[in-house]
Every structure is written in C-alpha cells, then in structure tokens.
Structure 1
Amino acid sequence: MIPVTGFEGAKVAVLGLGRSGFATARALREGGAEPVCWDDNPGARARAEVEGFVCRDLLKAGAFDDIASLVVSPGIPHLYPKPNPVIRAAMVAGVPVDNDIGLFFRSVATRGWERFDQAPRIVAVTGSNGKSTTVALLHHILQEAGRESQLAGNIGRGVLDIDPPGSGGIVVLELSSYQTDLARALTPDVAVFTNLSPDHLDRHAGMGGYFAAKRRLFAEGGPDRAIIGVDEDEGLYLAGQLAEASSDDRVIRVSASQKLTGPGWQVFARKGFLSEYRKGRQAASIDLRQMQGLPGAHNHQNACAAYAAARALGLAPRLIEDALASYPGLPHRSQTIATHAGVRYVNDSKATNLDSAVKALSAFDNIRWICGGLEKDGGLEALRGQTGKVRKAYVIGREAAGFAMQLDVEAEVCITMAEAVARASAEAETGDTVLLAPAAASFDQYDNFEQRGEDFIAEVAKLRG
C-alpha cells in the first residue's frame, strides 16, 4: 500500500467504492487521514462500514463543511456531459477534487528513497488503443530483465494498493483519459502516448477535450522522457510541443506506419521489422513477424512503444528482443484461443471502438467477423473500406439489425454470442479466422468487455466438446 500523505488528521471524502475507491480509503487511513465515504449503492456502503469507514451522504446540506478534499473514482463524470451532483457540490463549496492517480503521484516518493542506490521510476502510458498491451509488454520485458516491476492503474492493481517500490524499482501505469483529466499531480519519469482515435467523446465534449485530457500527462509534470506515437496529427503536435529541437532525444518518436528520419531518437515498425534510429544511425533491428503474442501492425506499434520505454530505462536491445519473443499476449486482445478443424479463433473483445476493430481486421486473413454491441457516437462510417479481409460478419447485440445495415460486407444478424459462434464456425473453412472484434461497447449484453470475451471463449470451447 502507498500511504497517502499531506492529509494527516484531515477528513477526505471518497466518492465511489469500487476497486479504486476502497484502495483510496485504505491508503488515506494508512497515511493518517479520516476517510469519509459515499456510494449510491447501499451494498458498497455496507462493505465500507464493515471495514470501519464512516459513510456520509455527501449531498446533504453542510456535508463538505469539514472536508479537505474530495477523491473521485474514474468512472464518475466531473464536468461533461454534466458534473455528478456530489462533485458539483464540492466545487461549489470550494473543496478541491482529485483522484487516486493524483494522490499516488503526491505520495509515492518518500524520504526513504534517499537511502536507495537508485531511485524508483514511474512509467505512465496513455492513448486510445494499445495501452494495456504496451504496459503489460513493458512489465514483461522488465521482469525478464530481472528488474523489480509493478503493474497498476487501469490494469493490474490500483495505484494506491501496490507495494512501495524498492531501490531501482519501476512502476508501470496504464492511465485512461478519465484518470489523467482530473489528477492534480502527474509527474511520471517516462510518459508514453500511443495513439489517438475517437472515444469517450461525450465525457470530454469532443475530440479537443479528449486530446487535452491525454496531453495533461505530458504538460503537467514534464516527464524526463516522452515517447510519442506520431501516426496521427495530435501525436505530431505533441512531439513538437515537447521537443526543443529536432535532435532533442528527450522525445522518442514512434510509428507503425512510416519510416522516421532525422537527428533525434526514433523507433518504428515497417513490414514486420522494428527499427531504432538515434542521431541518424540505426541502433537496432528486430523481426516481429513470428512473435505469436504480437500479431498485426497495431501490436507492432505497441511493441515499438514498449521497446522505446525499455530503452529509456536503460535496457539493451538484445535483452528486449528476447523478452518480446516470449511475450504471451493479454486476454481479450488479439488472443488466439483455439485452432479447430483448421480454423483459428481469436478473441479481441477489447476492440470496443472503431479504430481498434479496424486494426484487428487488418491483422488476419479470411475473417469470419463477430461484431456488434452498444454502438458508440459517430456511427460506423470509419469501418467502410476496411473490411476487405472479411468473408462475412455475424452481428450480436440488442441492436444487431441496425448495426448490420451499416456494414459494407455480407452480414447475418445473430443477436447472441452463442448463435454467432455457431454460425461462424459452421460456415468457416480451413484457413479462416473467426474473429471477435466488436467495434462497440459491451454494456447492452454484458457487464464489461472481459465478460463478453469469456462468453466467446466458452462458446468456442463447446465446439470441441
């Protein structure tokens, strides 16, 4: 646990008692604060009271009179589409609003670090797609190198629930736009921006607000080294904003679509090969094509970002290459779960937006595509012209018929995962890939994308039963 500092003897309100909320309350108490908790769910409040936490309705008059700060769980909107009533009440009362990420950055460094041979370092990764794979891949590389590494944030453990890092220890954080948007402290040693595509636009009032939330990771604290995906204009702009000159190697530019040139530090992937250039000279080259845990150009972008972060932390190219080759992949992200009768079954349930689905569709051939779910803002126009490798789509979800009508490929309305897997497998031929890449959120039928992926895995398992 990371005890929260700076609130000794003060009352701090905690709104939302999910995983991060409970970890925050415990870390505040460990640091000498008095947590005051609230959640609309009576069951969550009951669990908090069992742990000895005080619960208070934060919408009652005077609820913030003795509160020093309000700490908010990431899923609770603080501004758009409109502020949660509790958060608005705090703002009206002049009470600062923060989240667990902000508390982590203000609390993780302690005087004990002065005794370490090497100070711990924090790597934070944000972007639209590939964050989870990038951080998991970097964590794997560090572990293979024998370095102390902990994975936290939007993946793994809550940031305040991890162990205090030891000498030379590294904490690898996945941070969503919800987390970077509100944190009052953001001071990583290495910050990574993977890419940007439309997502969560209602929460950020459009693409400008969405990018601004991501940009805060680089603008607020000024990382020692920034790794920027430059395949979109926003990444190009961000890299230009951070670099003092084209040769400034505090910025490492990353691409999965183009060769990068110039006197600076670049890492890019082309035709399945990762290349590192520095000061105009090639420093390393790695063949990614046969690495089973990293299929497709989108995973090659993730490999470039993780490779660049590992290099920024001082690891040698050959060591990183060996670790990339042994990376097993993450569940629900281009995860091959079975090969049956010559047909490959791939679970990419995490492909919840159009951009991630397009990348999944480009990674495989002869695709029987299972898609559909809770459609996000903007429709499916971005999928047009991207389905050349798709033999047929099998559409799930409560609005499957409407979803199917927007596709530019033959589509069958299946509604349920069971029907989609059964129909796709019945029609699949040797050499085909049955790919779950929904291009939609899961909440019309499932609690989360993980549950949707597990349902796919279960239905595929029945084919062998």
Structure 2
Amino acid sequence: MIPVRGYSGHKVAVLGLGRSGRPTVAALLAGGAEVVAWDDGAAARAAAEADGIPLDDLTKAKAWDGAKALIVSPGIPHLYPAPHPAIRAAWDAGVAVDNDIGLFFRSFATPAWQEFDRMPSVVCVTGSNGKSTTTALAAHLLAATGRPVQVGGNIGRGALDLDPAEDGMVVILELSSYQIELARALQPDIAVFLNLSPDHLDRHGGIGGYFAAKRRLFAEGGPSRSIIGVDEDEGRFLANAMREEAGTGDPVIEISSGRKLDRLGWSVFARKGFLAEWRHGRQQASIDLRAMATLPGAHNHQNACAAYAVARVLGIGPRQIEASLATYPGLPHRSQIVGEWGGVRVVNDSKATNADAASRSLGSFERVRWIAGGRPKEGGIEALRELFPRVAKAYLIGEAAGGFAATLGEVPYSVAGTLDAAVTAALTEAEPGDTVLLAPACSSFDQFASFEERGERFEALVRERLAG
C-alpha cells in the first residue's frame, strides 16, 4: 500500500467502494486522513461497514462539513452523461474532486528516494485498445532483466494498492480515459498513447472529449519521453504537439503497425511481421514477430512496438528484448489461444468490447466462426464490413443480435441468443482450418458481470464440449 500524503488530520470522502475505492480508503487512513465513504450499492456499504469504514450519504449537504476532498472511483460519472449527485454536492460545498490516480502521483515519491542509487520510474499506458497487453508485455520485458516492476491502475491492483517504491523500481500503470480525465496530478516519466477509436462516448460528450481526456496524460503530465501511435490523426496531432525540437522528433518516439517510419528522430514500427527500430534515419534493430503465438495480428504487433520502445527507453538492449518477447505468455481474454483440436483453432478475445478491437481480431485470422454480441456500442459493427469476407459464419448473442444480423447482410449467421448455444453451434459446424473466435464487439453487461466472466465461461464451454 502507498500511504496518501497531504491529508493527515483532514476529512476526505470516498465515493465508490470497489476495486479502487477500498484500497483508496486504506491508503488514506494509512496517511492519517479521516475517511468517510459511500457506495450506491447496499452490499458494498454493508461490507464496508463490517470492516469499520465510516459511512455517510455523500449526496446530503451535511456530509460535507469539514471535508477537504472527494475521491471518486473511475466507473462513476463526474460530468457526462450527468454528474453523480454526490459530485454535485461536493461542487456545491467547494470540495476538490480527485481520484486514486491523482493521489498516487501526489504520494508515490517520498524523501526516502534520496537514498536510492537509481530513481524509480512511472510508465503510463493509454489508448482505446491494447493497453493491457502493452502494459503486461512491457512488465514482462523489464522483469526478464531482473528489474523490479509493478503493474496496476486499470489492470491488476489499484494504483494505491501497489507497494512503496524500491531502488530502481518501474511502476507501469494502465490508465483509462476515466482515470486520466479526473486526476488532479499526472507526472509520468514515460507516457504511451496507442490508438484511438470511438468508445465511452457517453462519458466524454463525444469523440473530441474522449481524445481530450487521454491527451491530458501528455499535455498536463509532461512526460520526459512520449511513445505515441501515429496510425490515426489524433496520434499524429499528439506527436506533433509533444515534439520540442524540429527535425529530431525529441522527446517523442513514434510507433506504427503497418507504416514505415524512417524519418529523422526515433521510431519503432511493424510491417509484414517484422518490428524495426529506427533512429536518426538509420535502422538500429529488427525482430521477427511472426512466430510469436501470443502476439498474433497487426494489433499485437503495435503493442509489441510500444512495449519495445518502453524497454529501450529504460536501457534494455534489442537482443534482450527479442529473447523476452519470445517467452511472453499472453493475457487471458485478449487474443488468447484456448487450444486447437482437429485442425480448428479456438481463440478467446472477450476483451474485444468494441468494433475496433474486434476488427483487430478478425483481421488476424482467415476463416472465422465468429461469436459476437452482447450490449452494443454506438455504431455497432458497420465499421467491420470490409472484414466480413473472413467470416465463414457468425453466431450472434445478447442484446445486439438483431442489429448485428441486419448489418451482416449476406454473411451466414444464426441468432444463438446465449454464449452456451453459440459455442455449441460453432464447434459443431467448424471445419479444419477454421478459427472459432469470441470477439464480441460489445460489452458483456447484458449477460455477464464483466468481460473476464464472459471469457471464462467461453473457455469452460469449449473444454466441456471437447471433453464430451
């Protein structure tokens, strides 16, 4: 745990008592703050009360007497589509609103760092797709060299639940737009922007607000090194904004999946399955990614470029990185190969919760038995139309099934309704050379509590079916 600094003896309110809220309460208490908390869920309140956490309804004006700050969990709207009533109450009381990421950056560095031989570093990774894989892969590359590393934020442990720094430690935080937008302090040493596609638009008032939230990590965070994907205009804009020296590109490293970046400056890109590093107009290294089963497809090659760039900034050599890339085990529910039976490959990409993420999966395989659907995102699957020739048949589930069926047109499909029925049908009809792919292009919340639960159910169904 990282004790929160700056609130000793002061009252601090915490809204939301989930994966980030509970560690936030503990870290505030460890720093000497007086905490009062609230959650809209009765079960979460009961669990907190049983653990001795003081509760008060933060939507009531009286709860704000003497309060210095409100710390909000990322899932709670603070502006769009409408602010939570407790946030409005904090505004009315003149109380500063922050989140656990802001507290982390205020509290991670301590006077004890003066005794370290090597200063700790904080790497922050954001983007619409690939954040978790890039974060985990970068951590894998660093850990393989013996460097102490921790991962947290939007993956694994909450930021304040991490351990205090030790000599030379690297903390890699995966950060969503929700987390970046509200944080009052942002101070990454290295910041990574992967890509941008429409997502969470209701929470940001549109695509411009969504990009503005992610841009804060760079514009207000002021990283020493910015690693930026330039395959979309937003990334090119951001890279240009972060450059300080014309011609050299410093302090930006551009990354791409599919574009050759051989201009002056520092770049890492992947083309035709090969990762290349260029500096000052000359190639420095090349790595063959084609045989790396846990990094299939162009989207994972972009993730590899970003993680490679992080490792290079932190002093790891290309050959060390190449050896470690080959041993990366992959992350659950992200283009995860469940197995191959009778010439049929089964892939779990439950984390593909929007059309852009699903396009990256579909583009990685030639003949797909595609399980798709759930709670639909804005735009549906219209953007995937050019990939429909890869779909041997679609098996549609959840609330999106009807809309997806209308979009598919002449692509063979069946409305399975449930994941159980879709898996049974897809595995029954699959032929050698097919890939049975769960890439829903939807959130899971119509039938499952999370994409993890959906992915775990998919894997269990596959194994049950094949065992029987």
TM-score (ref. length: structure 2): 0.98
Q: How far apart, CA to CA, are the structure 1 residues paired with 2:446 and 2:243?
A: 44
Is the 1:69–1:98 contact (alpha carbons within 8 Å) kept by the matching residues of 2? yes
3-state SS of 2:164 partner: coil
Do the aligned partners of 1:292 and 1:328 also contact (CA within 8 Å) in 2?
Answer: no
Within a 5 Å distance, the mapping from 1:155-170 to structure 2 comes to 155-170=155-170
Equivalence map 1:249-268=2 (5 Å)? 249-268=250-269
CA contact (8 A) 1:139 1:150 kept: yes
- Hey, what's the Cα distance between the residues in 2 that align with 1:464 and 1:377? 35
How is 1:4-43 mapped onto 2 (pairs within 5 angstroms)?
A: 4-43=4-43
Matched position secondary structure for 1:384: helix
In structure 2, the residue corresponding to 1:155 is in which secondary structure?
A: coil
Alignment of 1:360 with 2:358, yes or no, is: no
Q: Of the candidates 418, 421, 426, which is equivalent to residue 419 of structure 1?
A: 421
- 1:41-440 equivalent positions in 2, closer than 5 A: 41-244=41-244, 245-408=246-409, 409-440=411-442
The residue type paired with residue 308 of structure 1 is A
Residue pair 2:349, 2:361 contacting (<8 A) in 1 also? yes
Aligned partners of 2:60 and 2:89 also within 8 Å = no
Residue 60 of structure 2 contacts residue 86 of structure 2 at CA under 8 Å; is this kept in 1? Answer: no
CA contact (8 A) 1:383 1:407 kept: no
How many angstroms does 1:405 deviate by? 1.5
Residues 5 and 107 in structure 1, CA contact (< 8 A), matched pair in contact too: yes
Letter of the 1:312 partner, please give it. Answer: V
Amino acid at match of 1:407: L
Cα distance, 1:62 vs. partner?
2.3
1:31 to partner: Cα distance: 0.4
**What are the superposed Cα offsets for residues 150-207 of structure 1, whole Å, 9 maximum, x if unpaired?**
0100001111011111010000000000000000001000000000000000000000
Are the equivalent residues in 1 in contact too, given 2:151–2:157 (CA < 8 A)? Answer: yes
Find the residue that maps to 1:37 and give its secondary structure: strand
Q: Whole-Å Cα distance in 1 between the matches of residues 375 and 19 of structure 2?
A: 24
* Separation (CA, whole Å) in 2 of partners of 1:236 and 1:77: 29
Structure 2: which amino acid aligns with 1:112?
A
1:400 CA drift (Å):
1.6
Q: Equivalent residue of 1:266, what SS?
A: strand
SS of 2:302 mapped into structure 1: helix
CA distance in 1: counterparts of 2:65 and 2:262, whole angstroms: 57
1:451 equivalent in structure 2: 453
Aligned-pair identity (%)? 63
Give the partner amino acid of 1:132: S
Is contact 2:273–2:288 with CA below 8 Å preserved after alignment?
yes
Q: Distance in 1 between matches of 2:49 and 2:414?
A: 50
| Residue 221 of structure 1: how far off its partner (Å) | 2.1
Between the aligned partners of 1:236 and 1:387, the Cα distance in structure 2 is 29
Q: CA deviation at 1:249?
A: 2.9
Is contact 2:420–2:461 with CA below 8 Å preserved after alignment? yes
Q: Is the 8 A contact 2:105 2:186 kept in 1?
A: yes
C-alpha contact (below 8 Å) 2:401/2:415 kept by paired residues = yes
Show CA shifts across 1:396-415 (max 9, x none).
11342332121242211100
**Residue-by-residue CA offset, 1:412-455 (whole Å, 9 max, x unaligned):** 11001111111111111111100000011111111111111111
Query: Which range is displaced more, 78-87 or 38-47?
Result: 38-47
In structure 2, list runs of 5 or more residues that go unmatched: none
Q: Distance in 2 between matches of 1:371 and 1:50?
A: 41
Paired AA for residue 197 in structure 1: S
Partner amino acid for 1:260? Answer: L
User: 2 CA distance for matches of 1:328 and 1:63?
Assistant: 48
Deviations 1:218-244 (A, max 9, x none): 011200000000000000000000002
- Contact 1:77–1:83 (CA under 8 A) maintained in structure 2: yes
RMSD: 0.9
Whole-angstrom distance in 2 between the partners of 1:361 and 1:380: 12
Deviation at 1:299, TM superposition (A): 0.2
User: What is the CA–CA distance in structure 2 between the aligned matches of 1:214 and 1:265, rounded to whole Å?
Assistant: 22
Asked whether the equivalents of residues 405 and 413 of structure 2 are also in contact (C-alpha less than 8 Å), the reply is yes
Structure 1 residues 263, 398: closer, same or farther in 2, change over 3 A?
Answer: closer
Three-state SS of the structure 1 residue aligned to 2:389 is coil
Helix, strand or coil for the counterpart of 1:269? strand
- 1:246 positional shift: 3.0
Tell me the SS of whatever aligns to 2:375. Answer: coil
Q: Which amino acid aligns with 1:257?
A: G
Q: Give, in whole Å, the separation in 2 of the partners of 1:402 and 1:264.
A: 46
C-alpha separation in 1, matches of 2:446 and 2:336: 23
- Note the C-alpha offset of 1:45: 1.8
The separation in 2 between residues aligned to 1:455 and 1:433, in whole angstroms, is 18
TM-score calculated relative to the size of structure 1: 0.99
* CA deviation map 1:112-140 (0-9, x unaligned): 00000011000000000000000000011
Q: Distance in 2 between matches of 1:402 and 1:171?
A: 42
Look up the equivalent residue of 2:386 and give its one-letter code: G
Superposed CA deviations along residues 90-128 of structure 1, whole A, max 9, x for unmatched, are 012111000000000000000000000011000000000
| Alpha-carbon separation, structure 1, partners of 2:445 and 2:229 | 30
Cα distance in 2, alignment partners of residues 246 and 379 from structure 1:
41
SS of the residue 2:386 aligns to: coil
Report the residue type matching 2:296 in the other structure. P
Deviations 1:380-406 (A, max 9, x none): 221111222111111111342332121
Q: Which amino acid in the other structure matches residue 429 of structure 2?
A: E
**Distance in structure 1 (CA, Å) of the matches to 2:247 and 2:57:** 54
Instruction: Please give the per-residue CA displacement for 1:222-271, whole angstroms capped at 9, x wherever unaligned.
Output: 00000000000000000000002230331000000200121100000000
Instruction: Could you tell me which runs of 5 or more consecutive residues in structure 1 were left unpaired when the two chains were aligned.
Output: none
